[in-house]
Chain A
Amino acid sequence: DAGVIQSPRHEVTEMGQEVTLRCKPISGHDYLFWYRQTMMRGLELLIYFNNNVPIDDSGMPEDRFSAKMPNASFSTLKIQPSEPRDSAVYFCASSLGGLVAEQYFGPGTRLTVT
């Protein structure tokens, strides 16, 4: 398997623009996680899905952030409108069989909002 695939790898956008990050989990995995990593706050879980259903979105910073998983092989994280404080590396991870199973991380998307 190719592992977790994220696109784009780098995104530079201006404040106020809409940003969409994409993730393809490992085939067969039933959990999908979106994380954000910054120097100040470390690694934070934003939201996770089980069988395409959002289970816990308590980490989503505010209404500007939204995530969807229309099918088992694709998820998006959208920020609208984007702000400079959203600059971070966003990781997608997937796992099989539960919340203590190994999470496989994608390479991340480095987002810069100017």
Chain B
Amino acid sequence: AQSVTQLDSQVPVFEEAPVELRCNYSSSVSVYLFWYVQYPNQGLQLLLKYLSGSTLVKGINGFEAEFNKSQTSFHLRKPSVHISDTAEYFCAVKGSSNTGKLIFGQGTTLQVKP
């Protein structure tokens, strides 16, 4: 079975600073990995996903993530954050079989301060 751990429940950061949101997963099989963002009072929106190929994945809004198989991590980064990036971010994992569901982490609240 897969599981996801988001190591930080809250990350405060100043505007224009870089940020990294950490995600580790556990799985005995190959996985697919995702980052979703949830703005206040809204549903989740896909930021980026890793299915195969290059381990550096670029997503929307200037975010990117790097798949590290040896460390079983999929950390999300942005070199310079904006106030509008304030939201909750979810890492998710799915096994590579044709069945099975997406397993979400507990979420990390990114709070960008002016």
Chain A residues with CB under 8 Å of chain B are: 4, 42-45, 48, 55-56, 59, 91, 93, 98-100, 102-108
Contacts and interface: CB of A to CB of B under 8 A. Distances in A.
Which one of A55, A59, A99 has the highest number of Cβ atoms from chain B below 10 Å of its Cβ?
Answer: A99
A28 B98 CA distance: 20
A56 B101 CA distance: 8
Contacts, number: 48
Interface residues of B, number: 20
A22 B58 CA distance: 34
Contacts of B44: 43, 91, 93, 103, 105
A43 B45 contact: no
B99 interface: yes
A104 B44 CA distance: 7
A48 B105 contact: no
B63 interface: no
A99 B44 CA distance: 16
A42 B104 contact: yes
Main secondary structure of the interface of B (DSSP, over half): loop
Interface string B12-31: 00000000000000000000
A104 B99 CA distance: 19
B11 interface: no
Contacts of B105: 42
16 contacts: A42-B104, A43-B44, A43-B107, A45-B101, A55-B99, A93-B44, A99-B102, A100-B32, A103-B44, A103-B46, A104-B43, A105-B45, A107-B41, A107-B42, A107-B43, A108-B42
A104 B36 CA distance: 10
Nearest to B90: A43
Contacts of B101: 45, 48, 56, 59, 99
Contacts of B49: 100, 102
Contacts of A91: 43-44
Which of B90, B99, B104 has most chain A Cβ within 10 Å?
A: B104
B43 A42 contact: no
